Structure 1
Amino acid sequence: MGLGTTAAVALTGLAGQVVEVQAQLAASVPGFTLVGLPDAALHESRERVRAAVLSTGIRWPHRKITVNLSPASLRKGGSSFDLSVAVAVLAGDGVVPAAGLERVVHLGELGLDGRLQPVRGVLPAVAAAVAAGYRDVVVAAGDADEARLVPGARVCGAASLAEVVLLHGGELEHVPDVDPVQPARQPALRRAAGDLADVVGQAQARLALEVAAAGGHHLLLVGPPGAGKTMLASRLPGILPDLTPAEAVEVTAVHSVAGTFDPGGGLITRPPFEDPHHTATPAAIVGGGSQIARPGAVSRAHRGVLLLDEAPEFPSRVLETLRQPLEAGELVLHRSGGAARYPARFQLVLAANPCPCGMASLNKGLDCTCTPTAKRRYFGRLSGPLLDRVDLQVDVHPVTRADRLTRASGEASDEVARRVAVARGAARERLSGTPWTTNAEVPGSWLRERLGPGRPVLGPVEQMIDRGALTLRGADRVLRVSWTLADLDGRAVPDATDVATALTLRTRGNHG
């Protein structure tokens, strides 16, 4: 009887757990059994492993082979277990020396010709292995660059099963000449293009954009077609600061699992940008899948910007799925294969016309052909609970002739980004020692305490609460924006002007 043991990693969302892969070869009726709650893709690894071993020129053992994936109570899926299963079987058969293999993690999909194929989620899988004390990792050559981004990992990239056998001290009569599999071209990570200097006029909307960037606030832009809503929204990522090292690893891990990460450029250091079409399904927005849910647009926009252009055109059930991540900063997706937890702390930007035809705010609404019922139904798709979570809500008016004549006065993104970086630094210093990094994350109670006793600057906010024009949640968001305005102007605490400006930016000018 022979026994071979090595290790792999099972991913559930971004959380990885090291799995012990044991192969027992017994003198009995030949067969190949895989146990330990494998899914369909993993169950099929038996055929891929057998074909890959034979293609490598190794005799397949005619014994009863039982492969156990421990812990057996954990569901496991995907093709990344192929390599570990093959190595465990070959170690049990004596082709590969078994000593020390139990401390080596193997990740990779096997082709029928023995070549190693890249798999998704290598970065979080290797990170989980290193955290569990497994530093030696063998991956497909196409995944080696991504795996080496994990500090402390000793990574070996192999093009084929034959290379792995030789790596572990095995002997082959003939080494197949196998070219490494070129990884499939990853979908490019979306990066918003353009400069704020391209935007003509729109002083209030530009201010709202700067405040949103400085405090991490959500933003709603309402205006007629051609006013520049989409142009403004797409410039937001360009004025956000670079990701911190910890954020870069977190964002890169999400995109690795989603299959949108190109390891050739190293860790993702700029805030990502997602702008799904209004025909997107709830699964495309928040994530989906039959066994373990994959990341959706909201998770791919983690630490970046999620733009919903023509927001009222999105189905209500899609818009309402945003309420949990807007509050919690993460998503927990339950599927038959288990619950996957993905981070989703993004900045939401909604762009909308005032009515279906878009003309309600032009020429005093005389050109609008929409009925009052149609207007209410159209904008009513943005529900009160959703809008209550959007800190900044401003009107974008058509560009005038005077704006066009003075277009040279518009600031470039680099200038605005410098002010944003200073404001973010002030907030980070104030929030040091807390779990928050931006004003948008801070509870209102903590900010009110920082204002001191009495808090006279909150008088206008309290009056609007009494009139029912603001909810308590809305009042907290006004307070957060006030602190961001103070950070931009270099003040230690917000004053009455900051509160008044925050109210203006919150209520689309209807705060009087």
Structure 2
Amino acid sequence: MVSKTFGSAVSGVDANLITVEVNVGQGTSFFLVGLPDSAVKESQQRVESALKFYNYRMPRQKVVVNLAPADIRKEGSAYDLPIGLAILQASEQVFFPDLEKYVIMGELALDGKLRPIKGVLPIAIEARTKGFKGFILPKENAKEASIVNNLDIIGVETIQEAVKFLSGELAIEPLVTDTRDLFYHSQDYSEIDFADVQGQENIKRAMEIAAAGGHNVIMIGPPGAGKTMLAKRLPSILPALSLQEALESTKIHSVAGKLGSDSSLLARRPFRSPHHTISDVALVGGGGNPQPGEISLAHNGVLFLDELPEFKRTVLEVMRQPLEERKVTISRAKVSVDYPANFMLIASMNPCPCGYYNHPEKECVCGPGIVQRYLNKVSGPLLDRIDLHVEVTPVKFDEMTSTRKTESSESIRTRVENGRKRQEKRFKDHPDVFCNAMMPSHMVKQICQINAAGKTLLKTAMERLGLSARAYDRILKVARTIADLSDSEDIKVEHLAEAIQYRSLDREGWAG
């Protein structure tokens, strides 16, 4: 007898429907076909042990399991449950009248219990798109899948529960989540606040501009000046995620297996801070079975690279293309997947190996040429892609001990959101552009027009700093954001002047 059910294969952040067909006939062998990997092939032993635990039997006949379409590679152990249920029906041990109405996924333990799987959210979205009645999966993953409405989410703990549910012996109430209610109630802001930062008003201003326009930032300053403290507080002034952005980010974390069993929807902007020993594959994604990297996990959020020159140069160089295209494409001989990577890059670095070059009080002990070599670890093309270069100076004792209240993240965020609303209105006819930092060159020419005085100022700055065409665009984008924060329709000379000053590493003398 032939039995059929459905599973799914995740490719990138999307899922493809997989048909699981089982035929039990004359013979004695077990065949698993349809381009399975080793983990899928090993399902025979897990399925057999799980069935025996509940007094079912593995057919002592010829069993052919086909995973179609056969040209898509099947990976992982999540096909155990659909294979086990299809074998039970094909061998006529149990009859499931609605087996083909459900997408079924789950990894079996030897005692028949179900273990959680990755990529549940894109699978649930695909199941709803294809018109299935429901999705049967491990109970630990049910909360994550339940944010997809118009789909019955049936969480089960064992294969026996799945058997009883499908045969009508056990009623399981589908898990239902009000996605919008969950999203808006999860949007509590972080406990860390810019009100904790004493002094550093110029850096806070740069962070506000970066948040308002989605700009990348690099902070250069001595140890203990507060670079990391400021970077960690950036998400607290970013606009709240929209529901669409939250779903995009949740899909990526679901595929990477980064969502816990008690979480279902990311409501806060991601903040990723990888260590400087990270490999290029871990940063941008990849591997034999392609997985999203840190830049994709930071999608719609912040990627913080502390001690930037300590990262391997190859690691930093692979970020150049994703920074421009807002996505990363991972190509293999048989597969090519795209992961979104629309993130804000925040980097910090010391000005030299000892950390005290240009320090107002302490003397730098680095020898001749050492500062130049240290700064050269970060390439010019990468610095070109960073809009704001900010010098962080040590906090003075009087500021550190001051009891004066500093501005909170909430009040800064209000101004940032007002700036973003102006941009939202400006780019309403451009679905791929959400903020000033994302404007392509042709749009910069249309939107960031400056008067004669501004052109003279910018020409002087370009000649003295030796800026590239890309840096020219960056200055105009930052100036446009500063104008938005000032509720100004036009880019004025003072806006341009402030934008130009955020190019510290382009100045003469910084090379040592």
Residue number in structure 2 paired with 1:10 = 9
Q: For residues 76-95 of structure 1, give each alpha carbon's deviation from its aligned partner in whole angstroms, at most 9, with x where no partner exists.
A: 10111111111221221223
1:102-181 superposed matches below 5 A: 102-169=100-167
Q: 1:457 to 1:134 in 2, by over 3 A?
A: farther
Residue number in structure 2 paired with 1:397 = 393
Partner amino acid, structure 2, of 1:53: L
Q: 1:300 aligns with which of 294, 297, 307?
A: 297
CA–CA distance in structure 2, aligned partners of residues 204 and 227 of structure 1: 13
Contact 2:118–2:254 (CA<8 Å) still a contact in 1?
A: yes
Q: 1:452 to 1:296 in 2, by over 3 A?
A: closer
Q: Secondary structure, in 3 states, of the residue corresponding to 2:501? A: helix
* Aligned-residue CA RMSD (Å): 2.2
1:44-63 superposed matches below 5 A: 44-63=42-61
Q: For residues 162-182 of structure 1, give each alpha carbon's deviation from its aligned partner in whole angstroms, at most 9, with x where no partner exists.
A: 11111111779xxxxxxxxxx
Q: For residues 103-154 of structure 1, give each alpha carbon's deviation from its aligned partner in whole angstroms, at most 9, with x where no partner exists.
A: 3100100111111111011111111222232241100111111111112221
CA–CA distance in structure 2, aligned partners of residues 261 and 56 of structure 1: 31
Q: How many residue pairs end up in the alignment?
A: 490
Query: TM-score normalised to the size of structure 2?
Result: 0.91
Q: Which deviates the most, 100-109 or 299-308?
A: 100-109
Which stretches in structure 2 are left out of the alignment for 5+ residues? 171-188
CA–CA distance in structure 2, aligned partners of residues 497 and 453 of structure 1: 11
Residue number in structure 1 paired with 2:179 = none
Q: For residues 408-436 of structure 1, give each alpha carbon's deviation from its aligned partner in whole angstroms, at most 9, with x where no partner exists.
A: 25211111111111111111111112121
Q: For residues 450-500 of structure 1, give each alpha carbon's deviation from its aligned partner in whole angstroms, at most 9, with x where no partner exists.
A: 356977634433444455622111111111111111111111232221111
Contact 2:5–2:20 (CA<8 Å) still a contact in 1?
A: yes
Residue number in structure 2 paired with 1:481 = 478
Q: Secondary structure, in 3 states, of the residue corresponding to 1:372? A: coil
Residue number in structure 1 paired with 2:180 = none
Residue number in structure 1 paired with 2:371 = 375
Q: For residues 211-253 of structure 1, give each alpha carbon's deviation from its aligned partner in whole angstroms, at most 9, with x where no partner exists.
A: 1111111000000111111111111011111110010001111
Which stretches of structure 1, 4 residues or longer, exceed 6 Å deviation after superposition?
none
Contact 2:23–2:64 (CA<8 Å) still a contact in 1?
A: yes
Deviation at 1:336, TM superposition (A): 5.9
Q: 1:324 aligns with which of 299, 321, 339?
A: 321
Q: 1:474 to 1:193 in 2, by over 3 A?
A: farther
CA–CA distance in structure 1, aligned partners of residues 478 and 401 of structure 2: 32
Q: 1:303 to 1:210 in 2, by over 3 A?
A: same
Q: 1:277 aligns with which of 242, 260, 275?
A: 275
1:427 aligns with 2:423: yes
Q: 1:456 to 1:133 in 2, by over 3 A?
A: farther
Contact 1:301–1:346 (CA<8 Å) still a contact in 2?
A: yes
Q: Secondary structure, in 3 states, of the residue corresponding to 2:356? A: coil
Q: 1:325 to 1:143 in 2, by over 3 A?
A: same
Contact 1:200–1:407 (CA<8 Å) still a contact in 2?
A: no
Deviation at 1:448, TM superposition (A): 2.2
1:500 aligns with 2:497: yes
Task: State the identity %.
Answer: 39
Residue number in structure 2 paired with 1:246 = 244
CA–CA distance in structure 1, aligned partners of residues 203 and 47 of structure 2: 59
Q: For residues 332-386 of structure 1, give each alpha carbon's deviation from its aligned partner in whole angstroms, at most 9, with x where no partner exists.
A: 223466333211111111100000000112147x721112322122111110010
Residue number in structure 1 paired with 2:221 = 223
Contact 1:83–1:109 (CA<8 Å) still a contact in 2?
A: yes
Which stretches in structure 1 are left out of the alignment for 5+ residues? 173-190
Residue number in structure 2 paired with 1:183 = none
Q: Which deviates the most, 234-243 or 403-412?
A: 403-412
Query: TM-score normalised to the size of structure 1?
Result: 0.91
Residue number in structure 2 paired with 1:19 = 18
Q: Which deviates the most, 232-241 or 128-137?
A: 128-137
Contact 2:120–2:141 (CA<8 Å) still a contact in 1?
A: yes
